[in-house]
Amino acid sequence: MALLVWLMFFALGLSWFSFAPIMLEAMDELSITFEEAGIVIGLVPLALVIVCIPSGLLADRFSLRKTVLVGATVMSVFGMLRGFSFDFATLAMTMFACGVGYAVSYPSLSKVIGVWFPPKEIALAMGIVFSGMEVGMSASLLLTPAMVLAWSGSWRYAFIAIGALTLAITLVWTVLAREVPESRTRAPGERPKAESSSLKNSFFTVARNRHIWIVSLIGFMLLGSQVGFIGFFPSLLELRGIDPTTAGIIASTVPWFMVPGSLVIPKTSDRTGVRKPFFWLASIAAGAALYFAAIDTGRLMWVSIIVYGFLSGGMAALALSTTVELAGQSQAATATGLFLVVGYLGALFGPWLVGLLASTTGSFIMSISACVVLTETIVILGLSLKETGKRPVSGKRSKDGTTRAAD
């Protein structure tokens, strides 16, 4: 199941970021501005904001396998239809519909990990499967200009080819994916589904958890800066005179290094038994790296994009696993849905802000500065977050001689 979930995350990343490396070509043909391009990138997050809480609630009550199948099919079909856009409106509509399918699939895929793996392995497992999205992002940034665009000479065929590939991956899911046994969707002693709380109670239980809101705001800041930066980075490089293929190679380095980050940081967090320092310490370094990656084109740029990719990928995976830990297994998909709503509001806000500032000022300096501010805000949020790590803590010794953790 882990491999299948990885493939589905790969399809999500491949589909969403396929616009970034062909942005300038599409802008020229469809006569759209940087601000409108930022809106197009943000329409997938907008769909997540609208759809993922209802889809998370349904995934907590119904078939995970079928929910993912429906979402991935919608994403693939409308992903191909983006290639037939003839103006900003049609590109926006197909991108939004593609995002609806993305939003239906995402919470269910996260819950699959939460119920198939033991608690002490969730962070690492989430990091492994989430790397599929990062590999998909890299593949889209790297292969679209180097292969699809070079062979076909048109940005339209890039959308069609990527949509067909994600549809093929969906077919693999349809054939091989198994339903999660009901016994795995409940914690020990939890009542069966028929006696459990209603959808409304499930949502309000999650919404009353202050720390789920804090980790969701971390997602807002992280995804806002991440999507804003990566979405426009290829165009920024091309405007500096770098050819599209080389720009794609450079830009793809960021998500490539998100992959080891999403594995190493959660694993290190599991071993040390703490979560909070991996948010606030990493965000300090990530903000600095993002700034230097955007202002340099030499060795400093390469070092910075590697550091930024590694740290941002690790924080993203850790934020997802922390959300699952805070909510518990029975409400994991609902909590993930809330995390995605808030987080992807950031992914909607970030590219729009970057495009707006680029259009207004005529450069990307203010745009990148805004991304740095979003990243550094995670420092404050990370310090405020409840610790969910499993590190043994000293406490009071009970009468029977055992040590009890302090409250």
186: exposed, middle or buried (Cβ count in 10 Å: 0-12, 13-18, 19+): middle
The per-residue DSSP string of 270-286 comes to HHHT--THHHHHHHHHH
pLDDT of residue 394: 47
Residue 405 three-state SS: strand
Question: For the chain, what's the residue count?
Answer: 407
Domains of the chain plus CATH, in order, are 2-184+198-389 (1.20.1250.20)
Which DSSP category does 328 fall into?
-
Query: Across-strand partners of 405?
Result: 395
267: exposed, middle or buried (Cβ count in 10 Å: 0-12, 13-18, 19+): middle
pTM for this prediction: 0.76
The per-residue DSSP string of 106-148 comes to HHHHHHHHHHHS-GGGHHHHHHHHHHHHHHHHHHHHHHIIIII
Q: Which residue has the tokens 């805000």?
A: 377
Distance CA 273, CA 387 (A): 9
Main-chain phi, psi angles of 96, to 5 degrees: -65, -45
- Give percent helix, percent strand, percent coil of the chain, each to the nearest 5: 80, 0, 15
Q: Where are the alpha helices (DSSP H) in 240-364?
A: 244-272, 277-295, 299-327, 332-361
124: exposed, middle or buried (Cβ count in 10 Å: 0-12, 13-18, 19+): buried
Main-chain phi, psi angles of 185, to 5 degrees: -90, 5
pLDDT of residue 287: 92
pLDDT by 10s per residue, the chain, length 407: 778 888 888 998 888 888 888 888 889 999 999 999 999 999 988 988 888 777 777 776 767 788 888 889 999 999 999 999 999 999 999 999 999 998 888 777 877 777 777 766 776 777 677 778 888 988 888 888 776 666 767 888 889 988 999 999 999 988 887 766 555 555 444 444 443 445 667 677 777 788 888 889 999 999 999 999 999 999 888 888 888 888 888 988 998 898 888 888 888 887 887 888 888 889 999 999 999 988 887 889 999 999 999 999 889 888 887 887 777 766 776 787 788 788 889 999 999 999 999 988 888 889 999 999 999 999 998 888 888 766 654 444 444 444 443 33
Amino acid (one-letter) located at 168? A
